[in-house]
Structure 1
Amino acid sequence: MEAELMQMMARFKLKLLRVLSVKVDTYRFLADKEYAMAILKTADQSEDEDLLVLSMQVSDYLGLLETPEIPEPANKPKSKPGKAPDEEKKDRYLFGARG
């Protein structure tokens, strides 16, 4: 375990114990993803800002914080078949700078 992760886990574990009176098994937290997710959900229910930040840092460091992919809009205009996107932009240009 890296020193940075050890420090972060120690702060997270102590903060969780002080704020919510929840004890964390560090070894199980690092080995069992479901247990870790349950502990992180518990921490997310807190109103303590430091605990929330630590929770997000730990989950990000362990790769548990996933950012959802943003789907492409359904009403995105499709390019016409046979024309390159650059050509399509040229077709829409109707006026010069002065009108």
Structure 2
Amino acid sequence: RLNWNHGISLASTNHFEAAEEALLLVEDGLYQREVCYTCWLVRCFIMNAKTEKAWDLYLDMEEPKDSFLLLQVIANDSYTCGNFLFAARAFGILGSVDPQPEYWEGK
């Protein structure tokens, strides 16, 4: 629990390298399956220029509702970091599931 709290705190204060390290030390499967944990880990991967790892986490998601949320994080954070390939990929999937104009514009 300490690594989970520490990692989330670091990530929320934009200390993404240290946050990634702390979050990867979380061993409890219950915490690892929480969408909050996964979203923060994905954000850390993207901010640390490891977007492919973030994408792999999305591909491993089993819950459709959670994978949609994860795609939103990937799309927006990848766009913010200038990783437009993954942003376009994520926005494209989001747009095919939910035809919102924002997803089309992001793509």
Query: Which TM-score applies when normalising by structure 2?
Result: 0.37
- Bigger radius of gyration: 1
- More helix by percentage: 2
Query: Which TM-score applies when normalising by structure 1?
Result: 0.39
If asked which structure has higher relative contact order (CA below 8 Å, sep 6+), I would say: 1
